[in-house]
Amino acid sequence: MRVVTTARGRTIRERAVQSLERLPPFSPILNRLLATVAKGEVSFAELSELIEKDTVVAGNVLRLVNSPLYSFRGTVNSVRHAVAILGLSRLRNFALSLSISRMWTRTGTPQGWSAANFNLHSVAVGVLADLLAEQTQVPYPEGGFVAGLLHDVGKLLIATSLPEEYEAIHRLLSAPERSARDCEREVIGITHAELSGLALARWNLPIPIQLAATFHHNPDGADLGRRHLAHIINAADALANSIGNSVHSHPEASPQSDPAAALGLSDRLPAILEKFEIEFQNMKSFF
């Protein structure tokens, strides 16, 4: 493996890892929302209070709950009423998505990077992971959405902190049968998945979520081949790419034609995708 070294003697890999120091600061609501993920639960009153303190998120929550998806008779004009209709889990996922996408849009990225594609892919993987986790036995299924939402933050770190290396990686990707991981290792000595795992560790998210991000391209490595949340993220990522929700125009191919097969969900996949399409289309307009 070739590792590039800078004039100051630091490897590109070290610069990539140090890019974690330059992540934009979290908003107060995002800090507290992530804290509720780490502790595993959130109360009705706590979530309502958090959302009410962010006028942008609160406004979008009310817009979502009054959309045709929920067909609620009358207008919902209270966040607490919206929480009761949407449920704690779905509302927290939506608020996290909005808060994180707003943070990402404040980062400078190189030409060719699409913030819209990145946000939509992240949300799509989160929604799919949540739906897949409902249908199969996997440790820590409640972490599916957050792991899916944040699985590719390493790509954003490379694009924002190492723009020249980012462009070099994508030049290499034009060659046939080159994986993104191979190209990333050749240019910077670390993969975007590994960087994602380091970022989630820095944010003190639960270890299963950290591992799911780190191993989302090789899920058997997360727990010695045993079924893991990483398998859910791997399948959700492949499914999102297969239906056109990709970060780049040349997403990394799935090693199998049916990403849900390894989870034993092939027969339930049409119903899962139908549910995904309804939920995702209603969220899509916010990103």
Residue 47: alpha-carbon gap to chain centroid: 21
* Range with lowest mean pLDDT among 62-76, 123-137, 175-189: 62-76
pLDDT at 6: 42
- Angle (CA) 234-243-105 rounded to 5° is 75
Q: pLDDT digit string (tens) for 152-173?
A: 999 999 988 888 889 999 888 8
Query: Domains, the chain, ranges and CATH?
Result: 23-106 (no CATH), 109-287 (1.10.3210.10)
Phi and psi of 5, rounded to 5°? -115, 140
Are 29 and 48 in contact by the 8 Å Cβ rule? The answer is no
166 CB contacts (<8 Å, ≥6 apart)?
Answer: 110, 113, 158, 159
Which of 88, 139, 132 is CA-nearest to residue 234? 132
Distance (Å, whole) CA 72 – CA 196: 39
Residues of the chain above pLDDT 90, percent: 41
Average per-residue pLDDT for the chain: 85
Following CA atoms 206, 211, 214, 219 in sequence, which dihedral angle do they give, to the nearest 10 degrees? -150
pLDDT-based confidence at residue 18 (cuts at 50, 70, 90): confident
Distance (Å, whole) CA 56 – CA 142: 26
Query: How much is the pTM?
Result: 0.88
Burial (CB < 10 A; 0-12, 13-18, 19+), residue 108, is exposed
Sequence letter at residue 34 = L
The tokens for 59 are 């406004």
For helices 44-52 and 79-86, give the axis angle rounded to 10 degrees. Answer: 130
Distance (Å, whole) CA 133 – CA 138: 7
The whole-number average pLDDT for the span 112-128 is 92
Q: Which neighbouring-strand residues pair with 11?
A: 5
Assess whether pLDDT exceeds 50 at residue 278: yes
Which of 177, 172, 176 is CA-nearest to residue 187? 172
